[in-house]
Amino acid sequence: MTRIPRWPAVGLALALGACSDIAPPVRNDLYEWRLIVPNATSTALDSLSFQWPHDRLPVRIWAEDAAGLPGYVAGGIAAWRPAFLYDEFDATLVGDSAAADVIVRASSPPGPALSRVRLHAVAPECDGATDLDISDDHTQLRLPVRVYVNPGFTPDAAALDRCMALTTTHELGHALGIFRHSPETTDLMYSDPTVEAPTERDLGTAEILYHVKPNLVPVNGER
């Protein structure tokens, strides 16, 4: 029997290995992030997609110094960071609310008349909301984005801490551009979230939305 020489095969395998590229993940596990609203002038629907432009990064977030909010916001920024491999989004805490793109308060949101679009998150120990002021023609997002994280009255300090942390991270998910809730109960962006950090599906959705052309641009509004 003829013995087949192994070295050429080994060499070929090494050469092919040297030429192969890294294999990107299949990014199809995501949910609808666009805000779908009736068009102002017709019966059609508008799908509104928003991302912070690169020249506005890092997004400046002011957090009210109450209920430990600055710490929860810092944790929320860090929790979303793994979504962005190519510097698509970044945020930082600032001390001056007048210069902020996003304002986070430890209170209930004002009456519904003051907000155009409100996204809620509800948990037993606390609740949150994000108000988006979108122009009538559906082309502009007026800044600042206003986020409310309201601590409830509970004797369980650990449960309150957990709720504040996950609700703040959830609301920051809206502020960075996820304008819908996930249909999956196990995602952080579910309307009544229970997990403490963004899931791979949450991160994947945030990542994709920063690679799709947006149709809302941020503009400075009333403060």
Q: Can you give the binding site for another protein, defined by CB under 8 A?
A: 17-27, 54, 81-82, 84-87, 90, 200, 203, 207-208, 211-212
Least distance in angstroms from the C-beta of 18 to another protein: 5
- Chain centroid to Cα 88, Å, comes to 12
Q: How far is the CB of 144 from another protein (least distance, A)?
A: 24
C-beta neighbour count of 88 within 10 angstroms: 18
Cβ 19 to another protein shortest distance, Å: 6
- Between 4 and 23, CB nearer to another protein: 23
**What is the chain's alpha carbon radius of gyration, rounded to the nearest angstrom?**
22
Q: How far is the CB of 10 from another protein (least distance, A)?
A: 15
The crossing angle, in degrees rounded to 10, of helices 157-176 and 200-209 is 30
For residue 62, the cross-strand partners are: 103
Q: Which long-range contacts (C-beta less than 8 Å, at least 24 apart) are formed by 158-162?
A: 159/124, 159/125, 160/125, 160/126, 161/68, 162/125, 162/196
